[in-house]
Chain A
Amino acid sequence: MDFALTPEQTSFREEVRSWLAKNLPKDWSDRMRVGSDVPRPEVYDFLRTWQRKMYEAGFMGLTWPKDYGGRGLTFMEEMILQEQIALAKAPPVLNILAIGMAGPTIMAYGTEEQKRRYPAKMLSCEEIWCQGYSEPNSGSDLASLQTRAEKVGDHYVVNGQKVWTSIAHQADWMMLLARTDGKAEKHKGITYFLLDMHSPGVTVKPLKQLTGDDEFNEVYFDNVKVPEANILGGLNNGWAVGMTTLMYERLALGFGLQVRLRIALDGLVDLAKRTKKNGAPATQDPNVRQKLAQMWIDTEVFKYTGARAITKLLKGELPGPEASAGKMMWVEGHQRLQELAMEIQGPYSQLGRGSRWAVDGGVWQYSFLRSRANSIEGGTTEIQKNIIGERVLGLPKG
């Protein structure tokens, strides 16, 4: 067991640190004090530019092969980078669905042509990706999806609807799961397509979320043509390919989310120190102290459980139980953190953006509300528990 860094890793850390110190806009952390926030619409342009800058500095796609625009480094460097990003309270990556999921899936299943065409543009944020899995009647039970793709000449023609598609209104490409064989068993007739969101027949309708923002969308397909060459991983093999994407999603979550949780916790401690409770800083209230300390512990625990998963990856093993625990821990931890932020504010927690009395401009209220999605997006907590119960512990299916 060893947490020490090699001299090369130490110098990489210094490189990241000094670059961030020089390039991070000073007003960023004021604008988005709560680091766990998902990017809000008004900061998209800024985030696009920021990711491009990170890319040009060589800090995107550290673990991706050099041939496909990455740097060919290990997860260790990625972890160092993420840690420095957290410490500097730097912005999140905008093109996260591409980098966390689409890219790795394309590199795992793609043709050489696909691998040269897409990944590099994900890193530079030139092309933004969205994930077209969920449909109005297919969420947790993904394999029941109904969007069809029929072969016409050397194209497929897509008809149907997706829903809850995050960032679709900004996206250039979609990871699309569509049914290509209606007669096959439900898991076997699905194909994974790379769909150009600018194709004729694609309509994106923003949905207003309970936060008041429109971050996810309905997407309609009306005779949308997709070239056959845009199939990823073979016809009717979409279930296996799609599951790979979800595995990367969970891995990416484990990585990035611990960082966001750390940033959020730092923000929370800062809030507690600035807030008076019974005439003293809230951190001196024994109840708040206990809860804050537990958050601190849980955040660290999350980090070390992640480190165990990464160690397995570095050794070339598949991540075990540690990895599947990640998503659940993040969800539970983050929702509790946001509840605590409300508790610390007391009656002020009722005031949102626009009030001169709102604490920190109402930003906590926003992330509190947003955190309710955590246990639904990317697979609900119930589904995660089923996966752990069945795949990790080997319990029988219900």
Chain B
Amino acid sequence: MNFGFNEEQELLRSTARKFFDNECASVTVRKLMDGPEGMTPDLWKKIAEQGWTGLIFADEHGGMGLGFVDLVVLMEEMGRAVVPGPFFSTVLLGGLAVREAGTDAQKKAWLPKITSGEARATLAWMEPSADLGARGITLQATAKGAGFTLNGTKLFVHDAHTADVIVVAARTSSGQNPPAGGQNPEDGVSLFLVPKGTPGLSVTLLPTMDQTRKLCEVGLKDVALGAEALMGQAGSGWAPLARVIDRATVALCAEMCGGAQKVLEMTVEYAKIRQAFGRPIGSYQGVKHKAADMLVDVENSKSITYYAAWAMDEGVPEGQLAVSMAKAYVSDAYRRVSGLGIQLHGGIGFTWEHDLHLYFKRAKGSEFTFGDATWHRERVAQLVNL
């Protein structure tokens, strides 16, 4: 057993830390979040040049062929810097969906462009019902000739407004829609590649609480697609989609860990210098004990996230359980840590000028992305046969 990072991973960590310190300091983050794109072409190019957009993809597609444990290191650093922009959507949603569900031709067409930073991608799966299960996918794909016509609305779609291609989950089953009782809702889900500019495709940017995270509504009105848009077998898209979501969840947890770690550090530094009643506030146990609680939350979040990443790489049977344990734990922990961070900063923690709110909002948004703690605890309960 070796439950730590190796030298290459430590090197990746220090490289990434330096990179984001230089290229994505909080002034930059604030500029990026104010703009609609959430990213500049220049910074995106630099990120791609580091090889990070290709980190988890095979070398035949221009990637580095590394695993989730490596990715965790990078995601932690991104979370630490609250990096805005389409990395998550391109790599962990759209890119991973192509890898998990795409045909060889689709992989050849899109993955090299994704790894090189030339193309951005995303995944549209949730709908206004906000249902996280397969049942939630009701967007209709009707077979028409060799192709399909798609109609419906997707919500909470990351960075769709800047994506070159959107992977859309739709229902192709001939049965009832939504599926009737007795019918497995996982059957009949199909994934489609919908390139930017396809007639009938509309994208609306939604105002979000966490402005570093751009979410969109995606409308599909009589969107006609050829057979080449279908990813893999018709009707069997749920399994790869679920794999993508699980993996993206682990990456999100890592991002949350990095953010929580940074909040803890900022708070401890502040508590050492801020004086009240003639003493640094960190010398008061009311403050010190909260900092200790934050540390426990942060360390535990890392432990369970690292385990989940390892489980993804190894494909162990408890993979789903590991993902849900991580998301449940980290969702609560990041919320607690970022809330305490504001509290221990007093009035200054409540200002726009201070960075804490960036983390606090990330924590809240991430909590509800891919299922909150309650949802994942229920999944744990099911998986361990409670």
By a beta-carbon cutoff of 8 Å, the part of chain A in contact with chain B is 1-5, 76, 79, 269, 272, 283, 286, 289-290, 292-294, 296-298, 300-302, 304-305, 307-308, 310-312, 314-315, 321-322, 325, 328-329, 382, 384-386, 388-390, 392-398
Contact B378 A307 (CB under 8 A): no
Report the separation of the CA atoms of residues A292 and B374 in the bound assembly, to the nearest whole angstrom: 12
CB within 8 Å of A: which of B1-46?
1-6
Nearest residue in B to A398 (C-beta to C-beta)? B283
Contact A395 B288 (CB under 8 A): yes
Q: Which residues of A sit under 8 angstroms from B271, Cβ to Cβ?
A: 395
Give min CB distance, A254 to chain B, whole Å: 12
Report the separation of the CA atoms of residues A290 and B309 in the bound assembly, to the nearest whole angstrom: 24
Contact B329 A292 (CB under 8 A): no
Q: Which of B288, B302, B314 contacts A389 (CB 8 A)?
A: B288
Does B368 touch A at the CB level, under 8 Å? Answer: no
If the complex has contacts A293-B386, A325-B296, A389-B291, are A398 and B1 also in contact, measured as CB distance less than 8 A?
A: no
Q: Which residues of B sit under 8 angstroms from A385, Cβ to Cβ?
A: 285, 288-289, 292-293
Contact B300 A305 (CB under 8 A): yes
Nearest residue in B to A309 (C-beta to C-beta)? B3
CB within 8 Å of A: which of B284-319?
284-285, 287-289, 291-293, 295-296, 299-300, 302-304, 306-307, 309-310, 314
Give min CB distance, B265 to chain A, whole Å: 9
If the complex has contacts A1-B310, A329-B296, A385-B288, are A293 and B378 also in contact, measured as CB distance less than 8 A?
A: yes
Q: Which residues of B sit under 8 angstroms from A325, Cβ to Cβ?
A: 295-296, 299-300
Does B69 touch A at the CB level, under 8 Å? Answer: yes
Nearest residue in B to A307 (C-beta to C-beta)? B3
The 7 closest A-B pairs by CB, nearest first: A389-B288, A395-B282, A304-B303, A293-B377, A388-B292, A385-B292, A305-B303
Q: Which residues of B sit under 8 angstroms from A272, Cβ to Cβ?
A: 386
Does B268 touch A at the CB level, under 8 Å? Answer: yes
Give min CB distance, A78 to chain B, whole Å: 12
Q: 7 pairs across A/B with beta carbons < 8 Å? A: A1-B4, A283-B386, A289-B378, A293-B386, A297-B329, A389-B289, A393-B295
Q: Which of B285, B288, B325, B381 contacts A301 (CB 8 A)?
A: B325
If the complex has contacts A289-B378, A311-B3, A311-B4, are A297 and B386 also in contact, measured as CB distance less than 8 A?
A: no
If the complex has contacts A1-B2, A3-B3, A389-B291, are A297 and B377 also in contact, measured as CB distance less than 8 A?
A: yes
Nearest residue in A to B373 (C-beta to C-beta)? A294
Give min CB distance, A287 to chain B, whole Å: 11
Nearest residue in A to B386 (C-beta to C-beta)? A283
Does B203 touch A at the CB level, under 8 Å? Answer: no
Known interface pairs A290-B381, A311-B3; 9 further A-B residue pairs with C-beta atoms within 8 A, sorted by A's residue number: A293-B378, A293-B384, A294-B377, A300-B304, A308-B306, A328-B292, A329-B296, A390-B288, A395-B283
Report the separation of the CA atoms of residues A1 and B296 in the bound assembly, to the nearest whole angstrom: 22
Give min CB distance, A84 to chain B, whole Å: 15
Contact B386 A289 (CB under 8 A): yes
Give min CB distance, B116 to chain A, whole Å: 28
- Most chain B CB within 10 A, of A272, A329, A385, is at A385
Q: Which of A300, A304, A328, A392 contacts B306 (CB 8 A)?
A: A304
Q: Which of B272, B284, B328, B377 contacts A398 (CB 8 A)?
A: B284
Contact A304 B304 (CB under 8 A): yes
If the complex has contacts A388-B295, A395-B271, are A290 and B378 also in contact, measured as CB distance less than 8 A?
A: yes
Contact A297 B282 (CB under 8 A): no
Contact A301 B1 (CB under 8 A): no
Could you give, for residues 316-330 of chain B, a 1 whenever the CB lies within 8 Å of some chain A CB and a 0 otherwise? Answer: 000000000100110
Does B207 touch A at the CB level, under 8 Å? Answer: no
Q: Chain A's interface: helix, strand, loop or mixed, by majority? A: helix
Does B280 touch A at the CB level, under 8 Å? Answer: yes
Report the separation of the CA atoms of residues A2 and B302 in the bound assembly, to the nearest whole angstrom: 16
Q: Which residues of B sit under 8 angstroms from A300, Cβ to Cβ?
A: 304, 307, 325
Does B380 touch A at the CB level, under 8 Å? Answer: yes
Q: Which residues of A sit under 8 angstroms from B299, Cβ to Cβ?
A: 305, 308, 321-322, 325
Q: Which residues of A sit under 8 angstroms from B300, Cβ to Cβ?
A: 301-302, 305, 325, 329
Report the separation of the CA atoms of residues A325 and B304 in the bound assembly, to the nearest whole angstrom: 14
Nearest residue in B to A281 (C-beta to C-beta)? B386
Contact B304 A301 (CB under 8 A): yes
Contact B1 A2 (CB under 8 A): yes
Could you give, for residues 351-386 of chain B, a 1 whenever the CB lies within 8 Å of some chain A CB and a 0 otherwise? Answer: 000000000000000000000001001101100101
Report the separation of the CA atoms of residues A300 and B386 in the bound assembly, to the nearest whole angstrom: 16
If the complex has contacts A322-B299, A395-B283, are A311 and B2 also in contact, measured as CB distance less than 8 A?
A: yes
Nearest residue in A to B297 (C-beta to C-beta)? A325
If the complex has contacts A311-B1, A396-B283, A398-B285, are A1 and B69 also in contact, measured as CB distance less than 8 A?
A: yes
Q: Which of B285, B296, B381 contacts A289 (CB 8 A)?
A: B381
Q: Which of A283, A304, A386 contacts B288 (CB 8 A)?
A: A386
Report the separation of the CA atoms of residues A76 and B3 in the bound assembly, to the nearest whole angstrom: 12
Q: Which of A3, A322, A329 contacts B1 (CB 8 A)?
A: A3
Q: Which residues of B sit under 8 angstroms from A290, Cβ to Cβ?
A: 374, 377-378, 381
Report the separation of the CA atoms of residues A384 and B292 in the bound assembly, to the nearest whole angstrom: 9
Contact B4 A393 (CB under 8 A): no
Q: Which residues of B sit under 8 angstroms from A398, Cβ to Cβ?
A: 283-285, 288
Report the separation of the CA atoms of residues A390 and B314 in the bound assembly, to the nearest whole angstrom: 38
Nearest residue in A to B379 (C-beta to C-beta)? A293
Report the separation of the CA atoms of residues A293 and B280 in the bound assembly, to the nearest whole angstrom: 40
Report the separation of the CA atoms of residues A62 and B313 in the bound assembly, to the nearest whole angstrom: 32
Give min CB distance, A367 to chain B, whole Å: 21
Contact B329 A301 (CB under 8 A): yes
Q: Which residues of A sit under 8 angstroms from B291, Cβ to Cβ?
A: 388-389, 393, 395
If the complex has contacts A301-B325, A322-B299, A398-B284, are A382 and B377 also in contact, measured as CB distance less than 8 A?
A: no
Q: Which residues of B sit under 8 angstroms from A283, Cβ to Cβ?
A: 381, 386
Report the separation of the CA atoms of residues A304 and B329 in the bound assembly, to the nearest whole angstrom: 13
Give min CB distance, B367 to chain A, whole Å: 15
Give min CB distance, A113 to chain B, whole Å: 36
- Most chain A CB within 10 A, of B2, B271, B299, B380, is at B299
Q: Which residues of A sit under 8 angstroms from B328, Cβ to Cβ?
A: 293-294, 297
Q: Which residues of B sit under 8 angstroms from A79, Cβ to Cβ?
A: 1
Give min CB distance, A382 to chain B, whole Å: 7
Contact A2 B386 (CB under 8 A): no
Report the separation of the CA atoms of residues A18 and B5 in the bound assembly, to the nearest whole angstrom: 34
Contact B289 A308 (CB under 8 A): no
Contact A304 B3 (CB under 8 A): yes
Q: Which residues of A sit under 8 angstroms from B2, Cβ to Cβ?
A: 1-2, 311, 314
Give min CB distance, B11 to chain A, whole Å: 15
- Most chain B CB within 10 A, of A283, A301, A398, is at A301
Nearest residue in B to A317 (C-beta to C-beta)? B4
Q: Which residues of A sit under 8 angstroms from B264, Cβ to Cβ?
A: 393
CB within 8 Å of A: which of B157-192?
none
